[in-house]
Amino acid sequence: MSQTKQYPMQFTGTGGEYFVIWIVNIALTLVTFGIYSAWAKVRTLRWFYGHTLLDNQAFSYLATPLQILRGRLIALAAIVAYYAASYFAPMLAIALLVAFFVSLPWIIVTSMRFRARQSAYRGLRFDFTGSVGEAARIFIGLQLLIPFTLGLILPYIAYRQVRFVAENTVYGQTAARYQGSLKPFWGMYLLSFVLLLLPLAIMAFGTYQAYLLQATGMARETAAAAAGFYLIAGMVVFYLMFPVIGAVIQSRTANLLYNGTAVGPVGFASRQRALDLVWIFLSNLVMIALTVGLFIPWAKVRLARYRAQSLTVNGPENLGSFVAGQHQASTATGSEMADLLDLNFGLT
C-alpha cells in the first residue's frame, strides 16, 4: 500500500526582491509607451511562479512576451474600437457590446486555457479542457436567472463555477475531478447575507429608538439626534462589511475549490480564513496609502505567501509519477482581454 505524504506549499520571494522588478517594469513600460508591459507581465509571473515551491520544486510560467503582446494588442484594439464607436457611431457601439457579451464565454475559456497551458510543474504542463458551450450556460445562462430567483441561485452558480474550473483542469495527462457538494456554498452565502443584515439591524434599531423617544413626548428633532449614533454606526458598518463579505466569499471559495479537488492520487487541504484576508487587505491598503504606492510589491508578496502557506498537497511519496500530455498551442487574446477588463475567473 502506497503511503501518503503531506507537502506544504511554500513561497520564498521577498518584497524587496520584487520591488526591484516592479519599479524597473514601471520605468521601462513608461519609457516604451506601454510596449514593455508584455515583458513586464512575463517577468513578474515568472518571478512569482519561480518562488512558489511544492516539494522543493518551483512552478514555471512558459508564455513569451511576444505571445502576451500580440494578445494584448488585439484585445486593446477591440476596446479602442468600442470607445471610438461610442462617440462616432453609437449603433455600432451597441453592436460591439452585444458581440462582446456573446463572446464572453469564449473569452473565459481561452483565458483559462492559455493560463493553464503556460503553467508547468516538474516539466509537465497544465491544461484546461472546458467548452465554450458549458461556460455560456454557467457564466451567462445561470446569471440571467438571478433576478427571477431573488438571488437564491447564487450558491448554485458559485458551485457550478468551481466545478467547471476543477473538472476541466488537467495536469500532464491526468484530469482533475471535483468531489465537493452544493451544501457548503449555501452556508457561505447564508453567512454573507447575515453579515449584510448586521448594519441594517443597527440602523433599524436606531430608527426604533427614535420612535420610542418620540412616543415619550420628546421632540422629533431631539429624538432623531439621540438615535443618530446608531444610524451613523450602521452606515459605517455597512461599508466595512463589503471587504469582510468579499474575504468570506474569496477564502471559502478557495477552500471549497481545493478541498474538493483531486488530481489522480493527489489531494489538497486549503485553510484560508476570512479574518486573515481582511487583515491583509486592510493593512496593505493602509501601508500603500502611507507610502504613496511604494508598498504595492510587499502587499502582493504578503498575499502570495499567505495563500501558499494556507495550502497543503497530500500525495504519494513520488510526485513525479504523472505522465506528460501532448503540448497544444494557445493564444493570449482571451487572457489579455480578461486582464484589460479586470475579469477574474480563477475563483481563488
Per-residue pLDDT tens for 195-253?
989 888 888 887 777 777 767 766 666 666 667 777 788 888 888 888 899 999 999 99
DSSP tally for the chain: helices H, then strands E: 12, 11
**Boundaries of every domain in the chain:** 7-182+266-340, 183-259
Angle, CA 79 vertex, CA 77 and CA 82 arms, to 5°: 110
Residue 326 has pLDDT above 60, yes or no: no
Angle between helices 274-290 and 296-309 (to 10 degrees): 170
Q: pLDDT, tens digit, for every residue of 59-118?
A: 999 999 998 988 888 888 888 888 898 888 888 889 888 888 888 899 999 999 999 999
Tell me the average pLDDT across 126-141: 94
| pLDDT score, position 1 | 42
* Per-residue cell: 180: 465537493
Secondary structure of residue 36 in the 3-state scheme? coil
Tell whether the model's pLDDT for residue 347 goes beyond 60: no
Question: H-helix or E-strand containing 256?
Answer: helix 228-259
Task: Annotate 229-242 with b (16+ C-beta within 10 A) or e (fewer).
Answer: ebbeebeebeeebe
- Residue 294, phi then psi, degrees to nearest 5: -70, -15
